[in-house]
């Protein structure tokens, strides 16, 4: 994996948290606000559709972020950025898939199989 990703349980809140490098920081907003303590499901499906070349482009908007998936690069846009603030980051699509899979593993470890 290219990026250092840490998924851990917040001792005070009892919720899973994720830390990633600043250059892909909006991944945190996507995971914690849109996916939350659920599996990545539809988000991962969109990534897989593009990586398998079933589709050349997929887009999905959640509560806080929009994910625009292209084969090489995915753009994550934070929909509530203040004017003049950075509102997006880019991540290699394959790396985003790995992060989603790590998140799903952490969810399974914490809650057990949900399917």
Domain count, the chain: 1
**pLDDT of 41:** 95
Domain region containing 33: 6-111
Q: What percent of the chain has pLDDT over 90?
A: 87
Query: Is 1 inside a domain boundary?
Result: no
Query: Is 81 inside a domain boundary?
Result: yes
Query: Is 66 inside a domain boundary?
Result: yes
pLDDT digits (tens, 9 = 90+) for 60-98: 999 999 999 999 999 999 999 888 888 999 999 999 999
Q: Answer for the pair 57, 68: CB distance below 8 angstroms, yes or no.
A: yes
State how far the Cα of 81 lies from the Cα of 88, in Å rounded to an integer. 9
**DSSP 8-class letter at 83:** T
Query: Is 50 inside a domain boundary?
Result: yes
Query: Is 85 inside a domain boundary?
Result: yes
State how far the Cα of 104 lies from the Cα of 37, in Å rounded to an integer. 9
């Amino acid at each position: 994996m290219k990026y250092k990703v840490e998924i851990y349980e917040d001792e005070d809140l009892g919720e899973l948290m994720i830390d990633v490098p600043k250059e892909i920081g909006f991944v945190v907003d996507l995971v914690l606000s849109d996916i939350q303590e659920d599996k990545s499901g539809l988000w991962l499906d969109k990534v897989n559709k593009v990586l398998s070349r079933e589709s050349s482009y997929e887009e999905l908007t959640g509560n806080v972020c929009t994910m625009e998936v292209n084969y090489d690069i995915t753009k994550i846009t934070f929909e509530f950025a203040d004017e003049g603030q950075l509102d997006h980051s880019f991540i290699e699509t394959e790396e985003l898939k790995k992060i989603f899979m790590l998140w799903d593993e952490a969810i399974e470890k914490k809650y057990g199989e949900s399917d």
